[in-house]
Amino acid sequence: MIVLGDSQYGKAGVRLLRVCRDHDQAGGDAHRLRDLNVTIALSGDQAATHLSGDNSAVLTTDAQKNTVYAFAAEHGVDQIEDFALLLARHFVTSQPAISTARVSIDEYGWEPVGGTGHSFARSGREIRTAAVTHDDAGPAVTSGLRGLILLNTTGSEFWGFVRDRYTTLPETTDRILATEVNASWRHTAADVPWERSYLTARELLIDAFARTYSYSLQQTLFAMGRQVLEGLPELAEIHLSLPNKHHFDVDVSPFGLENSHEVFCPSDRPYGLIEGTLTVRGES
């Protein structure tokens, strides 16, 4: 017998720019921006539409999109965790057929420029993220970032690894270590000072990457995760996905030049990919 297992549906890629038209004390513009990409996934009792095309329990993905804009108008947008909490709760509490809502938000950064109070430039490559899953147990919140590219020009060794028939990699006591940090951390509460928490986590990730004398990217990963969990005791868990952005030392000796460990070829593909989760285990 063929049965419907897990299923979900929703709207992905809802782009929203929310402008807050504040003024400064002199009456000039002091506008603020939130620039988001919202994705919604709902699940629950959706058997009817799958089995017979009966849509009476389907909240359209178009209405989900509209809800994002309506909530932005009515409630404003400050921290993305709060906005995701609001949306996720709405879908679960207003739709009987929806038992779980997951709202994921990417936020793109902007910074004021030009001194006008209404002019901005996109800042940075990295994206701040939040995801709220709201089900019978209530909401669960994760925060994170992706696209933060870090590099150490020294302070990284790699040796003592397995040498099987297919191993040709030489050992090294000085290599470039670079990665693009993709991290998400799970909160134990839903009323955290989100911005401060985010900035702290980001700073701890960077600091641990920079200051860990590394014998493997795995070791650096663990150090980064530990430093975040230690610095933000409210957290329950952190997941890190760290592609190893290889930089090959170019051999310039064929050109009659001396290698001085200063000329590198960054390589995109293939790439090592190191992934790990660190968990806070309760002490009793």
Which positions are annotated as active-site residues? 11, 61, 246
What span, in angstroms and rounded, lies between the C-alpha atoms of 136 and 171? Answer: 52
What span, in angstroms and rounded, lies between the C-alpha atoms of 41 and 15? Answer: 15
Nearest to 91 by CA among 54, 63, 69: 63
Q: Which lies closer to a copy of itself via its Cβ, residue 190 or residue 250?
A: 250
Q: Determine if 42 is a binding residue for a copy of itself (CB under 8 A).
A: no
- Cα–Cα distances (Å) from 43 to 7, 64, 86, 88, 108, in that order, read 6, 13, 17, 12, 28
Q: Which lies closer to a copy of itself via its Cβ, residue 136 or residue 164?
A: 164
Q: Which lies closer to a copy of itself via its Cβ, residue 94 or residue 191?
A: 94
For residue 153 the two structure tokens come to 């020009």
Q: Determine if 140 is a binding residue for a copy of itself (CB under 8 A).
A: no
Instruction: In angstroms, give the least distance from the CB of 49 to a copy of itself.
Output: 4
Give per-residue burial for 8-18: e unless 16+ CB within 10 Å, then b: ebbbeebebeb
Q: What phi-psi label fits residue 138: left (phi over 0), alpha (psi between -120 and 50 degrees) or beta?
A: left
Q: Respond yes or no on whether the N-terminal peptide bond of residue 270 is cis (omega within 30° of 0).
A: yes
Q: Determine if 135 is a binding residue for a copy of itself (CB under 8 A).
A: no
Instruction: In angstroms, give the least distance from the CB of 148 to a copy of itself.
Output: 7
Stretch that binds a copy of itself, among 81-89, 128-136, 148-156, 183-191 (CB under 8 A): 148-156
- Residues of span 185-214 touching a copy of itself by CB under 8 A: 206-207, 209-211, 214
Of these, 25, 114, 137, 189, which contacts a copy of itself (CB under 8 A)? 114
For residue 177 the two structure tokens come to 């270590």
Of these, 78, 86, 95, 231, which contacts a copy of itself (CB under 8 A)? 95
Q: Determine if 22 is a binding residue for a copy of itself (CB under 8 A).
A: no
Q: Determine if 236 is a binding residue for a copy of itself (CB under 8 A).
A: no
Q: Determine if 221 is a binding residue for a copy of itself (CB under 8 A).
A: yes
Q: Determine if 122 is a binding residue for a copy of itself (CB under 8 A).
A: yes
Nearest to 18 by CA among 80, 60, 61, 88: 80
Asked if residues 179 and 242 have their Cβ atoms less than 8 Å apart, the reply is yes
Asked if residues 24 and 30 have their Cβ atoms less than 8 Å apart, the reply is yes
Of these, 113, 172, 199, 234, which contacts a copy of itself (CB under 8 A)? 113
What span, in angstroms and rounded, lies between the C-alpha atoms of 120 and 96? Answer: 42
Of these, 45, 172, 234, 252, which contacts a copy of itself (CB under 8 A)? 252
Asked if residues 88 and 103 have their Cβ atoms less than 8 Å apart, the reply is yes
Of these, 92, 148, 192, 232, which contacts a copy of itself (CB under 8 A)? 148
For residue 71 the two structure tokens come to 């909530």
Instruction: In angstroms, give the least distance from the CB of 190 to a copy of itself.
Output: 22
Instruction: In angstroms, give the least distance from the CB of 141 to a copy of itself.
Output: 19
Nearest to 104 by CA among 136, 80, 124, 69: 80
Q: Determine if 93 is a binding residue for a copy of itself (CB under 8 A).
A: no
Of these, 61, 99, 100, 200, which contacts a copy of itself (CB under 8 A)? 61
